[in-house]
Amino acid sequence: MVLFIEKALAFVWKDFVNETSYKFAFFMQFFGILITTVTFFYLSKLLGEVGISYLKPYGGDYFSFVLIGVALFTYLKVSMDSLSNSIREGQMLGTLEALLVTQTEIPAIILSSSLYSFIFASFKVAVYLLLGAFVFGVNMGNANLPGAFLILLLTIISFSSFGIISASFVMVLKKRRSGKLAAY
């Protein structure tokens, strides 16, 4: 178990170093969160009371509804994209073959490859929600946190299965330099 945790932390560290090596792109992600939040805030002001009746079961606040939806969509995107992107990057850099011949088990590689993406997605979701709560006054006091966490966990698991299928297609159907599809 300790060895698995050490390997997972090594994957996270590798991905963190890779991500932060592009400093401008790394910080622009946070600027994008700010721009998205401000855009939806002013869009909710523009809409006013239009459509609020449809949101009554959800608290009646369009901005809160959209902010939470946009924030949690981050997890769904990571669930579907992170593993296939990691596999594709390993193929392009030539590190996938070296990784697969190590004594690391395939499930450990699968889980660890997308671990950084989930950690960073959690950080981005926290930024979305904290920005909404402290800057724009979103009230999340009536939120059912255990229910939301359970639904989020089940959704991540189900969407991750699509991500694994996508990664398997990346592994099986590799595009060669000649342009033909061949088995990996």
Q: Is the pLDDT of residue 180 over 90?
A: no
How remote is the C-alpha of 46 from its chain's centroid?
A: 29
Could you tell me the pLDDT band of residue 51, with boundaries at 50, 70 and 90? low
Q: What's the rounded mean pLDDT across residues 137-154?
A: 86
131 touches 33 (CB < 8 A): yes
Higher pLDDT, 182 or 43: 43
Q: Is 37 exposed, middle or buried (0-12, 13-18, 19+ CB in 10 A)?
A: buried
Higher pLDDT, 183 or 117: 117
Does the predicted model carry a pTM greater than 0.85? Answer: no
Which range, of 23-27, 44-48, 52-56, 60-64, averages the lowest pLDDT?
52-56
